[in-house]
Structure 1
Amino acid sequence: MATFSELINSNKPVLVDFSAEWCGPCKMMKPILEQVKSELGDSATIIKVDVDKNQSAANAYKIQGVPTLIVFKHGKPMWRQSGVVQADQLKSVIKKYI
């Protein structure tokens, strides 16, 4: 399995959903992310990071609230937003980096 840094250093955009099991808005993101993934296919990668289980990644990107979504390209954060983001907005953000 690829490490977090290997994943975000990809040539294609990687959307990281920093979330937590206990977080209500994080649960709302799940079907949105599934929709985005099905519409973008292999042109982007979407991964979920549980901040309680991966505190080093959460600390590295100063995650203060969940969900926090970050789009990475070549390992660099290109876009970041906290809270629930709608599918159309997420798709248009990701498409900028494809």
Structure 2
Amino acid sequence: MRQVYTLEDSSQSIPLSAWREVYERAPTVIVASVASWDESSARMEALLDEIAQLYGARAPVLRVDVERDRALANALRIQAVPTLRVYARGVVVCEVTGYLPFSVMHERIRDFLPE
């Protein structure tokens, strides 16, 4: 079962409506914005798998490549990479910019995720 949803399997950008559909269905969604050229984003990629293992059953984990998915990155107003956000019913309730070790990231986001 896939835990981190991404566009890596597709050569086309995902429509904004598809992303909206995901976080309208799930009350809480974790969105990670990354760029292939950024070293911190590369480290965040490994962290996403850990986050998905811990939280994936409670909140889908979505990966946005800001280079390939420019329209979505612009719509989400991503200004730095990597950025990890927790959305609750479509509203940002937590945002962490930059790479942080898993223990610190967990500490920052856990209170915003459903039990």
TM-score (norm 2): 0.73
CA distance in 2, matches of 1:39, 1:21: 24
For structure 2, the 5+ residue unaligned runs are 1-13
Does structure 2 conserve the Cα–Cα contact (< 8 Å) formed by 1:33 and 1:87?
no
Does structure 2 conserve the Cα–Cα contact (< 8 Å) formed by 1:10 and 1:75?
no
The structure with higher relative contact order (CA 8 Å, sep 6+) is: 1
CA distance in 1, matches of 2:105, 2:30: 9
CA distance in 2, matches of 1:10, 1:71: 15
- Secondary structure of the 1:78 match is strand
Does structure 2 conserve the Cα–Cα contact (< 8 Å) formed by 1:23 and 1:66?
yes
Q: What percent of counterpart residues are identical?
A: 24
- The answer on 1:79 being equivalent to 2:94 is yes
Does structure 2 conserve the Cα–Cα contact (< 8 Å) formed by 1:20 and 1:66?
yes
Further displaced range: 51-60 or 4-13: 4-13
RMSD between aligned residues: 2.1
1:25 to 26, 40, 44: 40
Does structure 2 conserve the Cα–Cα contact (< 8 Å) formed by 1:51 and 1:58?
yes
CA distance in 1, matches of 2:20, 2:75: 11
Does structure 2 conserve the Cα–Cα contact (< 8 Å) formed by 1:9 and 1:73?
no
Count the aligned residue pairs.
Answer: 98
For structure 1, the 5+ residue unaligned runs are none
Match for residue 50 of structure 1?
65
- Secondary structure of the 2:96 match is strand
Does structure 2 conserve the Cα–Cα contact (< 8 Å) formed by 1:12 and 1:97?
no
CA distance in 1, matches of 2:83, 2:95: 7
C-alpha change, 1:71 and 1:7, in structure 2 (3 Å) is same
